[in-house]
Amino acid sequence: MKRMLSGIKPTGQLHLGNYIGALRHFVENQEDYEMFAFIANLHCITVMQDPEELRNNLRDCVALYLACGLDPKKATIFLQTDVKAHAQLGFIACCHTYLGELNRMTQFKDKQAKGETNLSGGLYTYPSLMAADILLYDADYVPVGEDQKQHVELTRDLAERFNHRYGELFKVPEPLVSKVGARIMSLSDPSKKMSKSDDNDKGCIYLLDDLKVARKKVMSAVTDSLAQVKYDPQNQPGISNLMQIYSSLDNNRSFEEIEKEFEGKGYGDFKRAVADKVCATLEEIQNRYHTILESNLIEETLKDGAHKANAIADAKLKQVQQAIGMEIIQK
Ligand code: ATP
Ligand code: LTN
């Protein structure tokens, strides 16, 4: 069975972009692949976190993985810091990454260009840690949103570099970026990605948003004055974004079908239909989330996941350290 791995940072509440761009693919693929889904709690401290908030977000993140349909019997679900090999291979990967490569990473460049001050060293080097996350497990595929594709491409380069230098060590992974929904945009500014770190709450639908609030966010989404439901990201970015959401939550229906359904109808009708789909999805997730919080499934899942992940990661780390010549005692 081919292996798939991905992670999400618990830097805030998970949102619809995370669900459509990443999480739903973890769930869809857990039947056909050996799935590793982890919570990237090292990555999240690359920007300052409030400890109390982070603890809550971590718990919510695991609960939401489960509530969205990840099954701990099928998928290995774990916390990054429960597997120490991530940090260790992360440093080794960092030592094999050129500054020129890190300088080209658009996520860091964007933050720098925005004039954000006090950017940390961890934020700069985190693509190397991400590479380690993936390479430790010899993952074949990495399902991610569009913004992470560049990091998976760096991972491929690093894998090839290691293999070339030390002999075959790592599988070269492939990013899986879906055609629709890989970049859900902010509802209040469709030129920007829907994001946890957005200052404007109106543009982002959180999976745990009150249903009334979520509905209101969809109904007040920025559109245009062309009065036609048409997939045209250039000229109608707001409507096209809503179409991506609608399609993703409705069995990936084609844009032509959606255009036909709303031919001659107003934006109000379309937005109501999108809001219905969003609220139905959220309601189902939230119902399961509340049941999960009351159970001890979170602890059990993480314990079991860490056990499985450690066995694989430790063996790989040892193989790497031996190949590099960093170990002298055969343990
Ligand atoms: P932030 O937006 O605060 O930078 P993030 O949501 O991008 O954080 P993660 O939570 O770690 O960061 O992302 C988890 C996954 O969700 C990644 O695969 C990412 O590509 C995907 N993702 C994030 N935002 C979107 C979006 N707006 N549309 C589609 N996929 C997204
Ligand atoms: N960097 C990603 C989260 C992440 C990840 C990974 C995704 C960390 N390690 C390994 C896929 C595979 C982000 O910021 N969204």
Tens of pLDDT, residues 205-226? 999 999 999 999 999 999 999 9
Averaged pLDDT, 97-118: 92
Averaged pLDDT, 261-280: 97
Domain boundaries, the chain: 3-182+295-323, 201-291
* Among 62, 54, 57, 55, CA closest to 23: 62
**pLDDT for 201 beyond 90:** no
* Banded model confidence at residue 331, pLDDT cuts 50, 70, 90: low
Beta carbon of 130 within 6 Å of any ligand 2 atom: yes
Say what the pLDDT of residue 198 is.
73
Tell me the C-alpha distance between 310 and 329, whole Å. Answer: 21
Q: Hey, what's the torsion of the CAs at 189, 25, 65, 109, to 10 degrees? A: -50
Q: How far is CA 72 from CA 29, 37, 68, 221, 329, in A?
A: 13, 10, 12, 36, 36
The sheet carrying 141-143 orders its strands as 76-79, 34-39, 3-8, 141-143, 174-176
Tokens of 174: 């492939």
Question: Could you tell me the pTM of the whole model?
Answer: 0.95
Averaged pLDDT, 308-320: 98
Question: What backbone torsions phi and psi does residue 36 show, to the nearest 5 degrees?
Answer: -120, 115
**Going by CA atoms, what residue is nearest to atom 7 of ligand 1?**
195
pLDDT digits (tens, 9 = 90+) for 235-256: 999 999 999 999 999 999 999 9
For residue 184, report the distance from its CA to the centre of ligand 1, in Å: 9
pLDDT digits (tens, 9 = 90+) for 134-143: 999 999 999 9
Of the listed ranges 75-84, 91-100, 194-203, 300-309, the one predicted with least confidence: 194-203
For residue 6, report the distance from its CA to the centre of ligand 2, in Å: 6
Tell me the C-alpha distance between 183 and 161, whole Å. Answer: 30
For residue 259, report the distance from its CA to the centre of ligand 1, in Å: 27
pLDDT digits (tens, 9 = 90+) for 128-172: 999 999 999 999 999 999 999 999 999 999 999 999 999 999 999
CATH fold of 3-182+295-323? Rossmann fold (3.40.50)
23, 55 Cβ separation under 8 angstroms: no
- Report the chain's C-alpha Rg in angstroms: 21
What class does CATH assign to 201-291? Answer: mainly alpha
**Going by CA atoms, what residue is nearest to atom 25 of ligand 1?**
17
Choose which residue among 3, 15, 42, 43 to substitute to test ligand 2 binding: the one with the highest number of ligand atoms within 8 A of its C-beta. Answer: 43
Q: Which residue ranges have their beta carbon within 6 Å of ligand 1?
A: 8-9, 11, 17-18, 20-22, 144-145, 147-148, 182-184, 193-197
Tell me the C-alpha distance between 261 and 258, whole Å. Answer: 5
Beta carbon of 144 within 6 Å of any ligand 2 atom: yes
For residue 26, report the distance from its CA to the centre of ligand 2, in Å: 13
**Going by CA atoms, what residue is nearest to atom 20 of ligand 1?**
145
